[in-house]
Amino acid sequence: MRLYEFYGDSKGSAICLGDFDGVHKGHRRVFAEASKTGDWGALLFTHNSKGEKEILTLSEKLELLKKLGAKYALAADFEKELKSKSPGEFVEVIASFKVRTVAVGYDYRFGKGAEGDVSLLKELCSKRGIDVIVAEVFEDNKEPVKSTKIRALIKNGDISEANRLLDSPYIISGKVVKGLGNGKVLGFPTANIEVSEYKLLPCDGVYKGKVGDKSAVVNVGKNPTFEAKRRTVEVHIVGEEKDLYGKDITVQIIDRIRDEIKFEKKEELILQIKRDIESIKGEK
């Protein structure tokens, strides 16, 4: 289990427990409750504990937690380190961090086979002098905000609605690697992002994005005009002329512009890209 110290360690703090995939509005309620007790951090998993594609990778999640005020984070390999532990053994692990308080969501489950619930957590922690805070459900339109729903929205390309529930933009991050070079040939150079195999990507299409303070057009898919075979994430940063090859970048995905289209002529594609750029700049 690895400790990431942002501003401090776990001793005497409140520790937040959960997958926290997406770090959405419901998760942030847990963090807010923990922060009322003083310093807080979180126990994370290196990959989604249910084996699903991740809204946020571990590195993306760590960066966001730091911005939200976490003092530290612990990252565990769920399959190797925690999956087989009984509820009692799991709480022993938590106690070893010397925390004062545990903060969880209303529907939190733990231990082998998700045997433990909030009531059992309170009972086991009480024996070790650890307080337990249970955050109330965060509802949107009378429905609990859940990672499952947000994951479905992203898959369907409904990024603006996903962002509203996340309370921050859905992001794609990774190293810029060599692509096919088609964008440069067309006059619109793109950064080809090497995306984690665990990352949840939206459906194929063209998206409005931002890299830093610059607007961007983001293409997710196989570039049907060029009959590419591999799915890629390519980003054209408006007004950016620097060579980004080998650099790590983070793209905020704001909204979906359109489907991918196969054009018969390159000139038609160039004209469409110009329209895409004008649309994200608010021009007519």
What is residue 112's DSSP assignment? Answer: G
Q: In what order do the strands lie in the sheet with 14-17?
A: 2-5, 72-76, 40-45, 14-17, 101-105, 131-135
Q: Phi first, then psi: what are they for 57, rounded to 5°?
A: -75, 170
Distance CA 124, CA 193 (A): 45
Measured between alpha carbons, how far is residue 28 from residues 16, 34, 95, 165, 175 in Å?
Answer: 10, 10, 23, 11, 28
Distance CA 281, CA 209 (A): 11
Catalytic (active site) residue 5: no
Q: Which residue is catalytic, options 143, 234, 240, 278? A: 234
Where residue 221 falls (left for φ over 0; alpha for ψ -120 to 50; beta otherwise) is left
Closest CA to 41 of 50, 53, 31: 31
Give yes or no for a contact between 60 and 22, defined as CB atoms under 8 angstroms apart: no
What are the catalytic residues? 234
